[in-house]
Amino acid sequence: MKKKILVVEDEEGLRFLYEEELKAEGYEVLIARNGREAIEQLEKGKPDLIILDIVMPVMNGMEALGRIVGKDRKIPIILNSSYPGYRQDFMSWAADAYLTKSIDLGELKDKVRELLEKGRAR
Amino acid sequence: MKNVLAMVLAGGRGERLYPLTRDRAKPAVPFGAIYRIIDFTLSNCLNSDIRRIYALTQYKSISLERHIQLGWNILSAPLGEFVGVISAQQRINEQWYQGTADAIYQNIYTLQEERPDLVLILSGDHIYKMDYRKMIAFHLEGGADLTVAAIRMDRKYSREFGVIEVDRDWRIIGFEEKPATPKTIPGDPEGILASMGVYLFKTEILVKRLIEDARSDSTHDFGNDIIPTMIGKDRVFAFDFRQGDRGGRGYWRDVGTIDAYFDANMDLVSVTPQLNLYDPQWPILTYQPTYPPAKTVLAEEGRVGTAINSIISNGCIISGGSVKRSILSPKVMVHSYAEIEDSILLEAVDIGRYAKIRSTIIDKGVRIPEGLEIGYDLDQDGKRFTVTGSGIVVVPKWIKL
């Protein structure tokens, strides 16, 4: 079975990039444009991992993170932001990883693979 | 102590104190005539120079929040000092607090905003006088990640407490919640070290451990989950309460049951109480509206207003009745020929003529009609009131007699 990845990103161009590249890696990709949609997708789509932007309209990633963990304690979450400063936020420590955005998705793909494998071991 | 933030867990239901907790959370239960239980912990903070304090409420909190707003709005906000109330606001997720650790986790944004070096986690349920500065010094000196205050108890009480096992340096090497066969104190086979629910954490370690706990299957409780997982991977120490005990008698009470509550109150009318409320170096503060001074009136044959071995608060009038070994909160009226013995009368209780009250706790505002006897026929009392195993009667608020 294909692993499902939920990409939460408000920027359309980036969303498209992530979707294409992750599909090419053999994952099924779900999309949400903000934190609120992410929570809906979490319940509807049952993803195996979440890639979560922080600065987004409607509900930002940091708030969504708390709510996601409240609903599914163990789902792997990668915070993915252009701003490294959010690492100082205590709540960001609840993510399994914090990556600064890049259009080279190598690091992100490695982290996705690593966390999904860890998840299988759990 | 500007780098220390105190978080007082004030959501205790206190179910075994029912009916005193029917309308209020346990920290808001009146104690010692004019205090609420939480006043002791808050006073300990102020007397220890800790002036950044949040009380976390969730359950039947109106009475408690009102008390804190009225009585504890005494610090200087411009200096960064406060006693604040945070009611459960479901900021992080949509659930009530699951356990003591979850209560702090759900307020992680508060820790974020305050960014203290140390977080002192306290319970609003306990009565004791403790200088937290001694514990903080011990914590810093030992380079501890977590320090847990511990009191020696007889081993027969092990099933009521979190029992701590320490090595020679008081480093914690074991922790069990309410064990039947506890680890005793080295060299003291009849004694155990009980956790007092007083935890001092390095902030960053606290946040990390709370998040790990939030992301795992757990009861989200400091005693059950956080402390046991920290032993072995972090520097966790026990602090001997005797080193910080301001009363000097090892006094610490949970007052978890009506009987314990009754006894702890009655201690106060003894000649030398175990709990000294009169130490000017360690004042216990509270909210007290201004009422006229207490007075006793009438001195006719058989109709003498008297109070002996008792605590009588402001606003009380003992008019031709007698009060013995009792505790009267403000505005209690005792009318002619009434007899009160070994009882606790909370605020604005009114005792009618010829009423006889013995070994009874009467909650706020109850009016006892003329000639009623309580505490003399427990079978009869048991039909309307709570009667404990040791024969203490509790008359609840709002009852019409």
pLDDT at B158 over 60: yes
User: pLDDT value at position B87?
Assistant: 86
Contact A5, A30 (CB under 8 A): yes
Q: Two tokens at B65?
A: 């929040």
User: pLDDT value at position B224?
Assistant: 92
pLDDT tens per residue, range B340-356: 999 999 999 999 999 99
User: pLDDT value at position B142?
Assistant: 95
pLDDT at B2 over 80: no
Q: Where are the domains of chain B?
A: 4-267, 295-395
Mutate to test the interface with A, among B115, B202, B208, B215 (most CBs of A within 10 A): B215
pLDDT tens per residue, range B245-273: 998 899 999 998 999 999 999 999 999 99
Residue B278 half-sphere exposure toward CB, CA atoms < 13 A: 7
Average pLDDT over every residue of A63-68: 92
Q: With bands split at pLDDT 50, 70 and 90, how would you rate the model's confidence at A120?
A: low
Q: With bands split at pLDDT 50, 70 and 90, how would you rate the model's confidence at A102?
A: confident
Q: Two tokens at A116?
A: 């999904």
Query: Which element (helix H / strand E) includes B152?
Result: strand B146-154
Which CATH entry fits the domain spanning B295-395: 1.10.20.10, 2.160.10.10, 3.90.600.10, 3.30.465.10?
Answer: 2.160.10.10
Average pLDDT over every residue of A5-33: 93
CB contact under 8 A, B93 and A94: no
pLDDT tens per residue, range B315-330: 999 999 999 999 999 9
Least confident of B28-37, B95-104, B226-235, B240-249: B95-104
Residue of B nearest to A69 (CA): B215
Which strands make up the sheet holding B386-387, listed edge to edge? B311-312, B327-328, B344-345, B360-362, B393-395, B386-387
Q: Which residues contact B271 (CB under 8 A, 6 or more apart)?
A: none
pLDDT at B89 over 80: no
Distance between CA atoms of residues B147 and B149, nearest Å: 7
ipTM confidence score: 0.85
User: pLDDT value at position A26?
Assistant: 92
Bond from prior residue into B19 cis (ω within 30 degrees of 0): yes
% of chain B with per-residue pLDDT over 90: 89
In the three-class reduction of DSSP (H, G, I as helix; E, B as strand; rest coil), residue B138 is classed as helix
CB contact under 8 A, B112 and A91: yes
User: pLDDT value at position B247?
Assistant: 87
Q: What is the biggest distance separating any 2 CA atoms in chain B, rounded to whole angstroms? A: 74
Query: CA of B214 to nearest chain A CA: how many angstroms apart?
Result: 7
Q: Are strands B344-345 and B367-368 parallel, antiparallel or unpaired?
A: unpaired
pLDDT at A121 over 60: no
Q: Are strands B360-362 and B344-345 parallel, antiparallel or unpaired?
A: parallel
CB contact under 8 A, B207 and A90: yes
User: pLDDT value at position B215?
Assistant: 92
pLDDT at A106 over 60: yes
pLDDT at B20 over 80: yes
Decide if A94 touches B, using CB distance below 8 A. Answer: yes
Contact B337, B356 (CB under 8 A): no
User: pLDDT value at position B96?
Assistant: 79
Closest CA to B342 of B268, B289, B251, B249: B268
| Range ranked top by mean pLDDT from A11-20, B44-53, B179-188 | B44-53
Query: CA of A20 to nearest chain B CA: how many angstroms apart?
Result: 30
Tell me if domain B4-267 and domain B295-395 are identical in fold: no
Amino acid at B196: M
Average pLDDT over every residue of B13-26: 91
CB contact under 8 A, A66 and B216: no
pLDDT at A24 over 80: yes
Residue length of chain A: 122
**CA distance readout (Å), B243 to A22, B141, B151, B197:** 60, 14, 10, 16
Contact B68, B25 (CB under 8 A): no
Decide if A122 touches B, using CB distance below 8 A. Answer: no
User: pLDDT value at position B95?
Assistant: 74
Average pLDDT over every residue of B110-118: 95
Q: With bands split at pLDDT 50, 70 and 90, how would you rate the model's confidence at B14?
A: confident
Mutate to test the interface with B, among A90, A98, A118, A122 (most CBs of B within 10 A): A90
Name the pTM for this structure.
0.92
Q: What is chain B's mean pLDDT, rounded?
A: 94
| Range ranked top by mean pLDDT from A25-29, A113-117, B320-324 | B320-324
The answer to whether domain B4-267 has CATH 3.40.50.300 is no
pLDDT tens per residue, range B28-69: 999 999 999 999 999 999 999 999 999 999 888 888 999 999
CB contact under 8 A, A73 and B217: yes
Least confident of B54-68, B90-104, B219-233: B90-104
Q: Which residues contact B188 (CB under 8 A, 6 or more apart)?
A: B152
pLDDT tens per residue, range B288-312: 999 999 999 999 998 999 999 999 9
